[in-house]
Amino acid sequence: MPDPTVPPTPPVPLAALLAREDLALRQIAGPCDPSLVVHAAHTSEMADPYPYLLGGELLLTAGVHIPDPVGSGTYFDDYVSRIVAAGGAALGFGLAPVHDTVPRALVEACDTYDLPLLEVPPQTPFTAVARAVWQLLAQARLAELRRVTEAQQSLAAAAARPDPVPSVLRQLAQRVGGWTALYGPEGTELASAGRRPEPPVTASLAELAEVVRPSGPGTPTSATHATAGTHLAAYTLSTGFALGVATPAREPGDHTIASVATVLLTLLTGEQQSGSGAARTSALVRLLLGGTAEEVAPLLGGGDTWFVVHASPIEKRDMAEVGARGTARPATPHPQPPDLLAATALGAALGSPLIDPVGDIVQVLLPAGRTPQPQPGWTLGVSSPVPAQHLSAAAAQAARALARARATRTPLLRHGSHPGLAALVPKEEAQAHARALLGPLAEHPALVDTLRTWLSLHGSWDRTAVALSVHRNTVRQRIARSAELLRAELDDPDVRMELWFALRQE
């Protein structure tokens, strides 16, 4: 049995064999179709070669089996029809020493049954033809293995990109020359790449994806179909997702390439923690039934302390018009909410399936034993490690860290854990002082947020605008309004210090 991990050998075009000048083969009957291929060469002088053919062969004969004389009977019709019935790809007839010319009746029979008939000259032994077929097969196999290897490398590289799932789909579509789609557990098309086929084809592919969706012990892991001249294939992902591929033709290595993509997509969309799905379900039920964070946290397998990570995808920012001095400044960004696939991939990269896309950020709950690292394509704000009962405070820390990271364009920023002068003031007294000082802004959360960000960025209007995704004039107006309500001179460093201290107590 062949190794199932190795793609099957591609067939050899019959035209490539005819193009070999050293063989001097000449087609004298049958269709001249460029798409005709052969899978092997086989020599036989049997009157009925049917039992000895597997299909796709170039059958070579010197006509030893032909009765002499044939007369006007149906011998050649019977002979050619049996070759066609066995799936033979072509017939090669060798001249000399038995026959000086190809029998006319054989030529007519091959034309009748659309079987290509090649004339093999006396100077070309059958072993030379068989060797040529073997050489062409070896070349085709090497080219196909190279194609598969390059595809595997490109798919692996795509899986490491900031948008791994769409990147893998795009690379797969490019490598097989078709269209690819990822279907969710409910059958919804979540993402696709390549040139989209006509609606009947996409509908057929969606139906084929349902066939491989896990539904019991007998569910197939892959299925194929052809419709409207398009080859369809669907592959099941162990996570309940399904991969669909539509191509104009089916190359021998396409299944191997798609299988690699299936494994990568399974890792990108699947559970990253063994047995964690049931535990998380149990944790959710307990929370809904009134459980506390301390009771629920052990079910999540994270230990005693946790990080809260806030992540924002890095956007390609448009540039504003060049100013009078010839310099350009970033325009106000418009963050787009990260999709679920990107959020899942981020969680997998950080090592946690506990993700929550909210607005334009993704919240990740990460056990303290797994230190967050910068991720390509993302800006991260990380809290201090905290016990489960303090996760809400950690979320606020992560949010502030993310705002500062985005403003300073830092890939990852951690909440400071070193104690400072604020630790010398009792927490209750510090909070009471903060409420009194910030009281005039209590009903204006946008002003509080803007003031906090502006102070954290040392009064930079542009960086604050970037961090808050607003125009710099909006920042100026909000800061001016805050100063008016607080009756404070915000250019005074002592005032700024007092306000910063108060804002940190919230």
CB 385 within 8 A of CB 305: yes
Residue 323 lies in a domain: yes
**Which is more confidently placed, 149 or 270?**
149
Mean pLDDT of 112-132: 96
265 shares a domain with 233:
yes
Specify the pLDDT at position 330.
41
142 HSE (CA, 13 A, CB side): 6
Rounded to the nearest integer, the mean pLDDT of the chain is 84
52 secondary structure, DSSP code: G
116 shares a domain with 18:
yes
CATH number at residue 79: 3.40.1390.20
Which of 385, 417, 449 is the last residue before a domain boundary?
Answer: 417
Instruction: Please enumerate in sequence order all residues whose Cβ is within 8 A of that of 223, keeping only pairs 6 or more positions apart, or say none.
Output: 208, 211, 212, 233, 234
Sign for the CA dihedral angle at 57, 62, 65, 70 comes to: positive
CB 334 within 8 A of CB 315: yes
3-class DSSP assignment, residue 374: coil
CATH number at residue 429: 1.10.10.2840
409 shares a domain with 374:
yes
319 shares a domain with 365:
yes
Which of 383, 417, 451 is the last residue before a domain boundary?
Answer: 417
Q: Give the model confidence (pLDDT) of 2-35 as tens digits.
A: 444 444 678 899 999 999 999 999 999 999 998 8
Specify the pLDDT at position 424.
56
Specify the pLDDT at position 273.
38
Specify the pLDDT at position 144.
86
Distance (Å, rounded) from C-alpha 490 to C-alpha 273? 50
Mean pLDDT of 308-318: 75
Q: Give the model confidence (pLDDT) of 171-225 as tens digits.
A: 999 999 999 999 887 788 888 999 999 999 999 999 999 888 766 566 788 899 9
Residue 289 lies in a domain: no
Distance (Å, rounded) from C-alpha 407 to C-alpha 501? 20
Question: In the predicted model, is pLDDT for residue 332 greater than 70?
Answer: no
Residue at token pair 């598969």: 148
* Closest residue by Cα to residue 194 from 260, 263, 266, 243: 243
Of the chain, the end-to-end C-alpha distance in Å amounts to: 70
As to burial, measured by CB atoms within 10 angstroms (0-12 exposed, 13-18 middle, 19+ buried), residue 226 is exposed
Which of 417, 439, 459 is the last residue before a domain boundary?
Answer: 417
Q: DSSP per residue over 348-361, as a string?
A: HHHT---EEEETTE
410 shares a domain with 427:
no
209-212: Cβ within 8 A, 24+ apart:
209/181, 209/183, 209/234, 209/242, 209/243, 209/244, 210/242, 212/236, 212/242
- Beta strand extents in 143-229 (DSSP E only): 179-183, 189-193, 222-227
Radius of gyration of the chain (CA): 35
Distance (Å, rounded) from C-alpha 504 to C-alpha 39? 75
**Which is more confidently placed, 143 or 162?**
143
* Closest residue by Cα to residue 412 from 364, 345, 358, 464: 364
46 shares a domain with 124:
yes
Question: In the predicted model, is pLDDT for residue 270 greater than 80?
Answer: no
Percent of the chain residues past pLDDT 70, beyond the cut: 85
314 shares a domain with 243:
no
**β-strands 386-387, 305-313 pairing:** antiparallel
104 shares a domain with 29:
yes
In this structure, what token pair is assigned to residue 158? 């795509």
Sign for the CA dihedral angle at 192, 193, 196, 197 comes to: negative
Residue 295 lies in a domain: no
Question: In the predicted model, is pLDDT for residue 382 greater than 50?
Answer: yes
Alpha carbon 334 to chain centroid, angstroms: 26
* Closest residue by Cα to residue 179 from 236, 131, 243, 132: 243
Residue 374 lies in a domain: yes
Question: In the predicted model, is pLDDT for residue 434 greater than 70?
Answer: yes
pLDDT tier, 140 (very low <50, low <70, confident <90, very high otherwise) = confident
250 HSE (CA, 13 A, CB side): 14
Length of the chain: 506
454 shares a domain with 492:
yes
Q: Give the model confidence (pLDDT) of 230-254 as tens digits.
A: 999 999 886 678 899 999 988 888 8
* Closest residue by Cα to residue 468 from 479, 447, 480, 453: 453
Q: Give the model confidence (pLDDT) of 87-111 as tens digits.
A: 999 999 999 889 999 999 999 999 9
CB 59 within 8 A of CB 79: no
Residue 121 lies in a domain: yes
Residue 296 lies in a domain: no
Q: Give the model confidence (pLDDT) of 446-481 as tens digits.
A: 999 999 999 988 889 999 998 888 999 999 999 999
The total of other beta-carbon atoms located within 10 Å of residue 316's CB is: 5
Phi and psi at residue 192, in whole multiples of 5°?
Answer: -155, 165
Question: In the predicted model, is pLDDT for residue 326 greater than 50?
Answer: no
404 shares a domain with 381:
yes
Percent of the chain residues past pLDDT 90, beyond the cut: 42
Distance (Å, rounded) from C-alpha 308 to C-alpha 392? 9
Distance (Å, rounded) from C-alpha 370 to C-alpha 399? 19
Phi and psi at residue 153, in whole multiples of 5°?
Answer: -65, -45
Strand partners, 353: none
AA letter at 449: D
Domain range for 51? 12-137
Q: Which helix H or strand E contains 109, and what residues bound it?
A: helix 104-112
pLDDT tier, 320 (very low <50, low <70, confident <90, very high otherwise) = very low
Q: Give the model confidence (pLDDT) of 283-300 as tens digits.
A: 667 667 777 777 777 776
Residue 333 lies in a domain: yes
Q: How many domains does the chain have?
A: 4
In this structure, what token pair is assigned to residue 426? 């009792």
Alpha helices in 320-460 (DSSP H): 340-350, 391-408, 427-438, 445-456
435 HSE (CA, 13 A, CB side): 5
